[in-house]
């Protein structure tokens, strides 16, 4: 799209309409769906009535292919376009009230300065016309669209432009991200990992959660088709592939696995029930069966019908004989690992809660942290974090959480999966003041402005919601939806 569209698409209101306005759409089978009077009013925005014909005209300018409509769903895409349409109407009303306009000269400047339409550094009318043809645009409608997008961008600039933030706001952001924190911490996993998970715990967890440990098993026959089997040669020559074609034709003719493989019956492998992880009902790995073959077999939908499979220049005839769902055995090493991991996570959550309760009750101070360390033989480590971007110890999510706490505070820090658990005390912190001559100063001006503008836009959303009363005529909406064939 044009640079002006790309620029605007970064703003918060772009989410409302960019995604839908760019969709191609075909309207068909509308028939005589319009009626006179109130029955033809699709939506009212305050006192302004918008009829169904206007909305249909709007839809017909978008070109969504029929298969795309079917993949998204007619009703859903209709609702999305209607939401987009109403949003555009509101912004049009706002731009008119604020007196925001785009002159013909400004529109021309947008077009001739877009790099997509340049050739040898100059605007190319030919490239522009090719773009219109390729995207099924007429020049007037495309230019109106650009004008609308630019007006919307100017509206947002109207509310956020001209902002000059005081230095203390920029400095506060800089301090927030660059503050040096000296931490004392205990890696709680050094304690939790000492827990020995007993067989009784594993068995108890398995029995309580047994319904979760079901898996599909296939019993099948197969034979790998090699040149030696089919042609008594060692090479994949023309005779081999002729024989392969013959087998494929036999399958298409409905011949059974036994009939097709009668000449090389001794090479057929008969399996017991196996799951998609190459393991049998006892949880033992069937190492002799190619894992890729298993993956292919578990895509087969029909039983007792031979299929020809090939991958990596290997060829197989396969027949699925039976399928059943069975409980995974505790002898299965993968299941055992999963259960132990879940028990360990549950244990960590319980132990974390005990610590959190003490912290929340103000019963966990620096001395208690030292006692906890001695009791559990877990050392208190020291680390200095030089700002939010310091990656030497904690990931970005954990670092952001750390920076919510101040000097002297003790807190517990865990990741989402409770694989990492820390008890942390902020021992000290040092603030750094930004130098206005520093190269980073401009970066933080932009960052602070961006955060401030985001708050302005959030307030603008509330203002719009309070200012405009929107009433949708559900009967007209349903009538329009039903007109899609």
pLDDT in single tens digits along all 485 residues of the chain: 333 333 333 333 333 333 333 333 333 333 333 344 456 888 888 878 888 888 887 777 666 666 656 666 777 777 777 877 787 777 777 777 767 777 778 778 888 888 888 888 888 888 888 887 777 777 776 777 777 777 766 666 666 555 566 677 777 777 778 889 999 999 999 999 999 999 999 999 999 988 888 899 999 999 999 999 999 998 899 999 999 999 999 999 999 999 999 999 999 999 999 999 999 988 888 888 999 999 999 999 999 999 999 999 899 999 999 999 988 888 888 899 999 999 999 999 999 999 999 999 999 999 999 999 999 999 999 999 998 888 888 888 898 899 889 999 999 999 988 999 999 999 998 887 777 777 777 777 777 767 766 666 666 667 667 777 888 888 888 887 777 54
CATH of domain 3-162+464-482: 1.10.4030
Which residues lie closer than 8 Å to 67 by C-beta, 6 or more apart?
Answer: none
To 10 degrees, what angle do helices 52-60 and 474-482 make?
40
Distance CA 190, CA 351 (A): 13
How do the domains of the chain map onto residue ranges? 3-162+464-482, 180-196+335-430, 214-327
pLDDT at 2: 39
* Residues 177/329, Cβ–Cβ less than 8 Å: no
* Residues 410/365, Cβ–Cβ less than 8 Å: yes
Phi, psi at 62, each rounded to 5°: -105, 145
Q: Which of 3, 73, 1, 65 is nearest to 28 (CA)?
A: 65
How many C-beta atoms lie closer than 10 Å to residue 402's C-beta?
19
Q: In the chain, what are the helix, strand and coil shares in percent, each to the nearest 5?
A: 50, 15, 30
Half-sphere exposure of 394 (CA within 13 A, CB side): 27
Distance CA 218, CA 230 (A): 27
Specify the CATH class of 214-327 in words: alpha beta
* Residues 69/77, Cβ–Cβ less than 8 Å: yes
Q: Where are the alpha helices (DSSP H) in 135-166?
A: 139-160
Over residues 71-100, the pLDDT tens digits come to 667 777 777 778 777 877 777 777 777 677
Residue 49 β-bridge partners: 44
How many C-beta atoms lie closer than 10 Å to residue 145's C-beta?
17
Over residues 386-445, the pLDDT tens digits come to 988 888 888 888 988 998 899 999 999 999 889 999 999 999 988 877 777 777 777 777
Q: Which of 343, 32, 21, 360 is nearest to 209 (CA)?
A: 343
pLDDT at 440: 75
Distance CA 180, CA 277 (A): 49
Beta strands in 188-240 (DSSP E): 214-224
Distance CA 127, CA 121 (A): 12
Burial class (CB in 10 A: 0-12, 13-18, 19+), 478: exposed
Q: Which of 246, 245, 244 is nearest to 229 (CA)?
A: 244
Half-sphere exposure of 344 (CA within 13 A, CB side): 21
Which residues lie closer than 8 Å to 92 by C-beta, 6 or more apart?
Answer: 148, 151
Residue for token pair 């169904």: 52
**375-384 burial string, b = 16+ CB within 10 Å, else e?**
eeebebeeee
How many C-beta atoms lie closer than 10 Å to residue 408's C-beta?
12
Q: Specify the 3-state DSSP secondary structure of 410.
A: strand
State the pTM of this model. 0.52
- Output the CA torsion sign for 323, 329, 331, 333: positive
């Amino acid at each position: 799209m044009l640079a002006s569209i790309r620029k605007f698409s970064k703003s918060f209101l772009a989410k409302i309409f960019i995604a839908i306005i760019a969709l191609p759409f075909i309207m068909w089978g509308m028939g005589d769906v319009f009626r006179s009077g109130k029955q033809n009013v699709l939506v009212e925005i305050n006192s302004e009535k918008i009829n169904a014909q206007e909305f249909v005209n709007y839809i017909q300018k978008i070109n969504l292919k029929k298969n795309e409509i079917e993949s998204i769903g007619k009703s859903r895409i209709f609702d999305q376009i209607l939401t987009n349409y109403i949003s555009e109407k509101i912004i049009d009303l706002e731009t008119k009230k604020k007196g925001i306009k785009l002159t013909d000269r400004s529109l021309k400047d947008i077009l001739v300065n877009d790099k997509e339409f340049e050739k040898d550094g100059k605007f190319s009318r030919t490239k522009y016309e090719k773009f219109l043809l390729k995207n099924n645009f007429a020049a007037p409608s495309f230019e109106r669209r650009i004008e609308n997008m630019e007006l919307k961008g100017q509206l947002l600039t109207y509310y956020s432009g001209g902002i000059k933030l005081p230095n203390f706001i920029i400095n506060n952001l800089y301090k927030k991200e660059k503050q040096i924190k000296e931490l004392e911490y205990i890696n709680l996993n050094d304690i939790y990992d000492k827990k020995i998970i007993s067989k009784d715990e594993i068995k108890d967890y398995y029995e309580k959660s047994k319904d979760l440990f079901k898996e599909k098993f296939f019993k099948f026959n197969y034979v790998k088709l090699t040149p030696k089997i089919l042609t008594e040669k060692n090479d994949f020559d023309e005779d081999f592939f002729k024989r392969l074609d013959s087998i494929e034709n036999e399958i298409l003719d409905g011949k059974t696995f036994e009939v097709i493989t009668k000449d090389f019956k001794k090479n057929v492998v008969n399996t017991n029930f196996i799951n998609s992880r190459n393991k049998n009902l006892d949880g033992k790995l069937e190492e002799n069966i190619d894992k890729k073959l298993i993956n292919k077999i578990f895509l087969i939908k029909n039983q007792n019908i031979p299929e020809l499979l090939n991958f990596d220049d290997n060829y197989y005839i396969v027949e699925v004989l039976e399928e059943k769902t069975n409980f995974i055995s505790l002898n299965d090493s993968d299941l055992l690992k999963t259960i132990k991991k879940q028990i360990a996570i549950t244990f960590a959550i319980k132990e974390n809660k005990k610590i959190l309760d003490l912290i929340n009750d103000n019963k966990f101070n620096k001395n208690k942290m030292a006692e906890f360390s001695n009791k559990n033989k877990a050392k208190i480590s020291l680390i200095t974090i030089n700002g939010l971007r310091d990656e030497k110890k904690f990931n970005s999510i954990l670092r952001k959480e750390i920076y919510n706490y101040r000097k002297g505070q003790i807190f517990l820090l865990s990741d989402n999966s409770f694989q990492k658990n820390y008890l942390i005390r902020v021992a000290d912190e040092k603030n750094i003041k930004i130098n206005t001559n520093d190269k980073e100063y401009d970066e933080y001006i932009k960052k602070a402005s961006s955060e401030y503008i985001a708050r302005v836009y959030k307030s603008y959303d509330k203002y719009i919601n309070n200012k405009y009363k929107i009433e949708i005529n559900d009967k007209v909406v349903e009538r329009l939806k039903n007109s899609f064939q």
